[in-house]
Amino acid sequence: MIALGSDHAGFDLKEAVIEYLKSENIEYRDYGCFDRSSTDYAIYAEAACNGIISGECDKGILCCGTGIGMSMAANKIHGIRAAACSDYFSAMATRLHNDANVLCLGERVVGKGLAIELVKVFLNTQFEGGRHARRVAQIMALENK
């Protein structure tokens, strides 16, 4: 299951992601927001990431104006590796090499078509492991300092 979250600036992009997930019969849980009223991204980053940490969801997709605020908030949550991506290679590499579990997208940065391509590659790319597992473990160890 995919955890979804957005603020008002990412709401329309999140809705496009929902349409894609529905078309592919991919289960998701929408943690909000639920309209374009001004709101704060950290609330929805936390809610969606808690869905991952609890085990209810496997990965997450967060949308805001740039993807940056969501990624900063998400990365404060123990166990989350969030990446703001606006190109195909980065979305693929963050799964291959960083085992990212959250993709952050910016509605003001990427169009809906590109966003769906980024979602596809993020959801369909497996972590390579190997030498990258050591590096991911080092990243995660930083949370305990």
For residues 17 and 72, the answer to whether their CB atoms sit within 8 Å is no
pLDDT of residue 44: 98
What distance in Å separates the CA atoms of residue 127 and residue 142, rounded to the nearest whole number? 20
pLDDT of residue 115: 98
pLDDT of residue 116: 98
Spot the catalytic one: 33, 49, 63, 64: 64
- Nearest CA-CA partner of 5 in 103, 93, 121: 103
Which segments of the chain have a pLDDT < 70?
A: none
User: Could you tell me which residues are beta bridge partners of residue 28?
Assistant: 2
User: Could you tell me which residues are beta bridge partners of residue 47?
Assistant: none
Q: Is the pTM of this model over 0.85?
A: yes
Question: Yes or no: is domain 2-142 CATH 3.50.50.60?
Answer: no
For residues 8 and 38, the answer to whether their CB atoms sit within 8 Å is yes
Active site residue 97: yes
- φ/ψ of residue 74, rounded to 5: -60, -40
Active site residue 104: no
Checking 26-29 for CB contacts under 8 A at 24+ apart, the result is 26/2, 26/123, 27/1, 27/2, 28/1, 28/2, 28/3, 28/4, 29/1, 29/2, 29/3, 29/4, 29/56, 29/57
